[in-house]
Structure 1
């Protein structure tokens, strides 16, 4: 009898024990905490605990059990399958999944191996590991996007020889480029807080079929934090608290976000505040970069003072706050509504490269700073899934953005402070559709964009406090409109061969009236109505297990905006840019060929070659106003210039990437880019300004359970004097000087080490030592030296 009871007890115990499962990460074997486990009607649900365990005894053997976690790919299992696998469920990390799926090419999810263009994906774990101060630094960390900086509060991406208004920025699918994005270096990307970014994607090369004007060199897409529904009964709460300190500029950053989820409603709130001090450059490098003196106003008089520490770039510090609010509502499974609100605001921040220029040994500027840079985005996104004849998926995106920026400058010894202030109200609406067929997908949509530009100019006498009006930077009250229709088609001819094509027609309207109170222009207004037709054709071929091919042909365009046709500003000492209402769109023609090689199970090599030809390019050239070639601008005789359709250009290059898995824990990653570009200037071809030197990085990553180390090098080639664009040759103050006294951009490298330790499922500590050898360097065309040896300490708590 005892034997019978003992056998029965063991049987019951074994059955009950079999109901407890363990959820593990597929790559590192670590427990996955807080995984929501539920059935399809959510009548039964549970969560994994700190050890990744959960009891599934309430689920039946035949029903589908759903496993959902923020950091992993959603999985579906039946209980008997789990029991057959020793009660273990393996989940795939989103870090690897992001490499396979992209949102950028068609505004809907596509498999990466079916896209002919090269796409860079940045995952949440990569953002956490990089600990970037700004989104410009985040892009730079990829080793495939070059970043120029004129000041600490800045960062202008350069992709395949193009930059500024020839690259398109989007946030949550909304176009960020405004009508005053200029050809000079931009700092708008810093308005996007990397702590509020969930992931990012970069299209390398043209993207005009989907995104329209400006998408010539590439498209940078930021996707901010999304709210999550509750997958348990009642309301769920989760969030993250993060803090970071770095020594190179005494940075202090604090961030917090919280998610409140219910069955059909979800709310996400986030805030980040950063305070940056003056940036210290490295010890070893060209003395030309040292900050030996600076200007200060004492008792109403400008004086030059010696800098106590020439390695400290004074002044460069500023602060910034970013806010996010997201609301998601899903009344039924086929509809969801998403409201996103983003706000960013900086303090004044110095334009550092204007503050150390000298004339006859005396600083030219006593002050040169940007006023607070403000950006607001309100975005309503509606999604509908249907089985209608017209579409399977519909997505509407309506957005309003507000931009505010200003420039303030005063010459050394001059009491007059000049200011210009710009406000832009930007409205946009997109309606996108996806329709699937047996072996193909059709994407199509329409878009409307309207920008209203307000621009004012003023002066203030610092001695007498007299104030007055001066010429504005842009025509006040000007408008820029874009209307477009597009379609693209993806056809999977075989399991290993797919074709993608697309076409877009865009019509642009520009309306501006010029103020003749301060300058005698030979025109009163700009009234531009122009169209642009672009297309693309590409194929993907998985030839065999060893190699896959990508081939893409595309065109792109950039229509003139308000900055092109209407601005007045001092482009460089002794030159002033004036309006030119006679501009036409510029066109780019691009071809690229890529190959992905699986050399073995643990060695992968990617190569991409490309060529882009830019026709009718809008460039700055000498100009005249009724025969006048020199005018007085802010008290200084200045050569007249204007943006003109006066050039063509070409760019070609190679991009390479290598991954080697030495073991499950140890991986080598290396990226390399080479770009060569030239433009026609006066009948001769000269170096293209935004074609970067060869650059790249190499990472040796060790990842085992709770500990991760990343030892990496960043490196950059040299540009001699003859390699610099003619406009850069005239900016000796930005560069080091060679033995002949000519400016050049030296090569440089840095060695860096980052370590990350998961103290427990809630706490993660990250520590980095950047630029270990304390190199003094500047990235090409930059006006500020990069950070010297820099210790970064970050701590995050997830609940």
Structure 2
């Protein structure tokens, strides 16, 4: 054989080997921009074979058999699974979708399992980790407010009470990783529990606007706020996967100092995620341009053992409002098989004591201030939950199953003392809550899926109270806020059907039955109240249902219609509370309560013009029957009793009202280019209810018209956002009677009546990815330094505020 022939044989042999080798090389790209993705782990079902993509998104497939299923895994992207033969048929190119973008198309809160957003007939607002990081909120309440769909009330800096479609507090439900946070003492007054959720640990938030009682039970009348925290990331290869983040943040309006760190370590089957956040706030400075009624001109200071009114050297500083907070999280994930997960979550949050600012600015009859002290004690929350999730099964009963059991402990307290009084009152509440949820999904056929489940809840309330003489430190018992040792239980079953005969039409409907059992013993409090009963045993039941359709005639139009019932069962706060609701009034227990029911409907329209111009429009109506509301009451034939040393009008929670609430929402997004877009949201809400005299009056938690508009530009490593936030006016006639009775919270109109003025702010935000390790986020909020106070709030909002955060990732 000649040298030439030998050369050609070796040449073609080498070429064949090269072609064969290249045919075994897959390239993984991001769908949409075709950019290669490095660090994607490829593995088989048993995880005995693996590979990882290089900087060019390439990996060798020669270790896998032709009929073997390959999983493509990267924590930033949705998992893909393909047979090796399918990869070959796709010319060895695999596209992955960023999970951040995918979250906008997939929701969990509607059924506890992933569904396409297009299949849900209700309005659901989603925020993902990237959006949360860019918004850079101080608390989870601020995070919700930034959506443009949720109104947030604040009585103090350490607070934030969401209002959704005219409902708030115990008519909204909060869920953390599928565990219900609402407990037996969630009240009708403003709630601060949402600030216990650390925004640094949130992977995504889904807010269902409107009723959600079929899946979530009692309290889900106005909406459901589902927070899903970050999960530990596994390795899926021989090397251990590690990831760490650290954040430092500072803001000028309240001299905020925040530090956060989290660390992830992942093995093939085990993952661990640890997180810690610490925040310290000083007193909040309000804006310089606005109503003088909001100024903090005087405050109480104890000088030489005497309460003294002193002039505030800077009336823009709201004294005292500062506090600090610590959040801890530890999560463990075990994945013995690709479709089976065990998750353990441990969450802890605690605040320092913080002042209830709206009570400290209440005037007294002589023109001074009513309270010398009014503090919330540390707000503590612990959650421990264990869940099992199986996403693929051959069982006749289910295809997917999730079982979650959880224990929660809540602690809150109230410490107050009247001006120039020697007696400090302390009331301390603890709730221990146990829950179990079993949720299942079964695909009945190609067009129908069944969701169903059961739930059990048990709450035990401990309550103590005493008064302390600040001179002698002598303690004496007083009436507790709640009946000590009372229990609240709920057992429920639900089912929901999804019918999707084609890509243009989806029907979803469901039913739930809830049985509530309440036991309370008032013997100890009867020493002070002389109630006509010593115990209360109640067991109300409730049926709820929902039915809705999504009709998508083409790629441009989507219609949604949903009708539902929802309920809220009376809890220990409704049935057994004793507290001073307002100056000169006291709320006493009432054991004659039944659930309140809401009947509602929503019609929505989404218009999508080739993803260039998008409109999302919804209108809704809710009728609340047998509403649990605070009204005047008699006790042993008496209309007044002595409480906290003064004659007080008697009130109680009663099924004493009906409410009509209605509204209109519109959202718009205009994508001028791939880099520049305009996004806006606007909400109009109205409502009325029966007043004490039977006349129609405004509903307390119906917020003024509100919204925001953002102009966002994003290019490579830089993202800029210029945005405006705005609220309409509520005149004196538009305020509910309970709000008119608190003029010290409001501005004064030309007739001398309280009202809530309109306001707006201009703001600017920027984020720059310095390199692969460092990210800088800055904001300048309320640029024109407006002095404003959101409706029903007791504290004015921040004035001009510069915020800077530096994130380091490794």
Verify same fold: TM over 0.5. Answer: yes
- Residues 750 and 775 in structure 1, CA contact (< 8 A), matched pair in contact too: yes
| Equivalent position SS for 1:228 | coil
Conserved 8 A contact 1:24-1:52: no
Contact 1:44 1:58 in 2 (8 A): no
What is the distance in 2 between the residues matched to 1:299 and 1:18?
A: 87
Matched, 1:345 2:345: no
Could you tell which deviates more after superposition, 91-100 or 785-794?
Answer: 91-100
Structure-1 residue corresponding to 2:771: 760
Give the Cα separation in 1 of the matches to 2:38 and 2:776. Answer: 18
The residue number in structure 2 matching 1:788 is 799
Residue range with higher mean Cα deviation, 697-706 or 405-414: 697-706
Say which SS state the counterpart of residue 151 (structure 1) adopts: coil
| 2:60 equivalent in structure 1 | 56
Match of 1:691 in 2: 702
Structure 2 vs 1, CA of residues 478 and 364 (structure 1 numbering), >3 Å: closer, same or farther? same
- Kindly report which structure 2 residues correspond to 1:387-426, keeping only aligned pairs within 5 A, or say none: 387-426=394-433
Q: Report the counterpart of residue 567 of structure 2 in structure 1.
A: 557
Deviations 1:290-343 (A, max 9, x none): 111111112211111211211111111111111111112223345322111111
Q: Which moved more, 1:146-155 or 1:463-472?
A: 463-472
Counterparts of 1:600 and 1:421 in 2: how far apart (Å)?
A: 57
C-alpha displacement of 1:450: 0.7
Change (3 A) 1:305 1:226: same
2:512 maps to 1:512: no
Match of 1:362 in 2: 368
1:588 correspondence with 2:594: no
CA distance, structure 1, for counterparts of residue 532 and residue 370 of structure 2:
32
Partner of 2:501: 493
Q: Are residues 713 and 425 of structure 1, via their aligned partners in 2, closer, same or farther at CA, if it must alter by over 3 Å? A: same
Partner of 2:784: 773
Assess if the C-alpha contact under 8 Å between 1:498 and 1:539 holds in 2.
yes
Cα distance in structure 2, aligned partners of 1:471 and 1:52: 70
Alignment of 1:288-307 (within 5 A): 288-307=293-312
1:111-510 matches, cutoff 5 A: 111-359=116-364, 360-384=366-390, 385-438=392-445, 439-510=447-518
Residues 1:421 and 1:616: Cα distance change in structure 2 (over 3 Å): same
1 CA distance for matches of 2:291 and 2:552?
Answer: 49
Following the alignment from structure 1 to structure 2, what is the Cα–Cα distance between the partners of residues 256 and 154? 23
Other structure's SS at 1:766 match: strand
> 1:535, CA displacement in angstroms?
0.5
TM superposition shift of 1:160: 0.6
CA–CA distance in structure 1, aligned partners of residues 807 and 451 of structure 2: 40
The Cα RMSD (Å) is 2.2
Q: How does 1:610-629 map to 2 (within 5 A)?
A: 610-629=620-639
- Report the CA distance between 1:545 and its aligned residue: 2.3
Q: What is the deviation of 1:718?
A: 0.7
Which whole-Å CA distance do the structure 2 matches of 1:761 and 1:773 have between them? 35
Structure 2 CA distance for aligned equivalents of residues 15 and 763 of structure 1 = 42
Q: 1:332 to 1:796 in 2, by over 3 A?
A: same
Specify whether residues 299 and 15 from structure 1 end up closer, same or farther in structure 2 by C-alpha distance, changes over 3 A only.
farther
Q: 1:30 to 1:417 in 2, by over 3 A?
A: farther
Residue 55 (structure 1) shift: 4.0
Equivalent-residue separation in structure 2 for 1:39 and 1:699 (angstroms):
45
Paired with 2:204 and 2:688, the residues of 1 have a C-alpha distance of 34
**Structure 1 residue 798 displacement after superposition:** 2.1
Moved more, 495-504 or 77-86: 77-86
Instruction: Give the superposition deviation at 1:58.
Output: 4.5
* Inter-CA distance 683–458: structure 2 relative to 1 (3 Å threshold): same
Offset of residue 471 of structure 1: 0.7
**Which of 555-564 and 247-256 deviates more?**
247-256
Q: Secondary structure of 1:127's partner?
A: helix
Cα 1:713–1:19 change in 2 (3 A) is farther
Asked whether 1:604 is paired with 2:610, we answer: no
Q: Unmatched 5+ residue regions in structure 1?
A: none
Q: Is the 8 A contact 1:325 1:341 kept in 2?
A: yes
Matches within 5 A, 1:13-52: 24-27=29-32, 32-48=37-53, 51=55
SS of aligned partner of 1:508: strand
Alpha carbons of structure 1 residues 10 and 771: separation in structure 2 relative to 1, 3 Å: farther
Kept after mapping to 1: 8 A contact 2:39/2:57: no
Structure 1 position 93, deviation (Å): 2.0
CA distance in 2, matches of 1:334, 1:544: 35
Deviation at 1:517, TM superposition (A): 1.0
Q: Is the 8 A contact 2:520 2:535 kept in 1?
A: yes
| Corresponding position of 2:664 | 654
Q: 1:85 and 1:394 mapped to 2: Cα distance? A: 33
Stretch moving more, 409-418 or 19-28: 19-28
CA distance in 2, matches of 1:31, 1:294: 61
**Distance of 1:293 and 1:58 partners within structure 2:** 77
For residues 504 and 361 of structure 1, what CA distance do their matches in structure 2 show?
A: 53
Task: Provide, for residues 106-129 of structure 1, a one-character-per-residue CA deviation record: whole Å limited to 9, x for no partner.
Answer: 111111111111111111111111
How far residue 34 of structure 1 moved from its aligned partner, in angstroms, is: 3.3
TM-score by length of 2: 0.95
The answer as to whether partners of 2:236 and 2:269 remain within 8 angstroms in 1 is: no
Distance 1:86 1:786, change over 3 A: farther
Q: 1:27 to 1:522 in 2, by over 3 A?
A: same
1:725 matched to 2:731: no
Describe the SS at the equivalent of 2:195. Answer: helix
Distance 1:237 1:417 in 2: 51
1:711 and 2:712 matched: no
> Which one of 68, 71, 76 corresponds to residue 66 of structure 1?
71
Contact 1:767 1:791 (C-alpha < 8 Å) held by counterparts: yes
Paired residue secondary structure (1:362):
coil
Deviations, residues 615-667 of structure 1 (Å, cap 9, x unaligned): 00011111111121111111122111111111000101011111111111111
- Within the candidate set 86, 101, 109, 2:106 is matched to 101
For residue 451 of structure 1, report the CA deviation from its aligned partner.
0.5
Q: Distance in 2 between matches of 1:759 and 1:796?
A: 10
User: In 2, are the aligned partners of 1:291 and 1:312 still within 8 Å (CA)?
Assistant: yes
1:285: Cα distance to partner? 1.1
Say whether the 8 Å CA contact 2:249–2:806 is kept in structure 1. Answer: yes
Whether the 8 Å contact between 2:26 and 2:61 is mirrored in structure 1 is no
**Equivalent-residue separation in structure 2 for 1:46 and 1:773 (angstroms):** 55
1:17–1:796 Cα change, 3 Å: farther
Query: Partners of 2:36 and 2:759 in 1: how far apart?
Result: 42
